[in-house]
């Protein structure tokens, strides 16, 4: 009887260890989003604040809403812009996935800004409370009414 009990405890422990290791593994993360920029001046004439809002769809979130706060520095890169930002993706059930990114953008014509950079998840709420991960971002922004943008995330997430 004791051997069966010890064997059962060992089996349950092994299953839980495998489940914990699987839960902690990096998983692919992909997202597509679109929205609008909302620019405002700062005390520095070369830096603009950009509060973006939008929506998208992502692995592990499904449909989500997007909000970020960016600081775009037009003095660092001739003919371009350097951006630092924090963001939040809100899943339909209310869980938040938070992160930050840095990027650089270049004007390919008078109205189109192409942006490339990297992101890092910094946590969230609900199932994303301890989220980590990183990857690449790409976006295109347009100097058109509403200041629309589209973007993608491609990398990993661990939660």
Domain ranges of the chain: 28-157
The SS3 of residue 4 is helix
pLDDT at 7 over 80: no
pTM: 0.83
Count the Cβ atoms, other than its own, within 10 Å of residue 112: 14
| Inter-residue contact 74 to 47 (CB < 8 Å) | yes
pLDDT in tens, 54-89: 999 999 999 999 999 999 999 999 989 999 999 999
pLDDT at 147 over 80: yes
CATH topology for 28-157?
Porin (2.40.160)
């Amino acid at each position: 009887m004791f051997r069966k009990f010890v064997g059962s405890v060992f089996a349950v422990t092994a299953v839980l260890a495998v489940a914990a290791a699987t839960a902690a593994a990096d998983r692919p993360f992909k997202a597509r989003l679109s929205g609008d920029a909302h620019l405002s001046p700062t005390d520095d004439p070369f830096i603009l604040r950009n509060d973006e809002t939008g929506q998208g769809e992502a692995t592990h979130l499904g449909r989500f809403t997007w909000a970020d706060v960016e600081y775009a520095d037009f003095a660092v890169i001739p003919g371009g812009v350097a951006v630092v930002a924090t963001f939040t993706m809100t899943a339909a059930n209310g869980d938040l996935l938070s992160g930050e990114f840095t990027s650089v953008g270049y004007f390919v014509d008078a109205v189109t800004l192409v942006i490339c950079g990297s992101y890092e998840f910094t946590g969230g709420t609900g199932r994303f409370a301890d989220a980590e991960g990183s990857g690449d971002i790409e976006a295109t922004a347009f100097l058109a009414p509403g200041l629309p943008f589209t973007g993608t995330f491609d990398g990993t997430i661990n939660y």
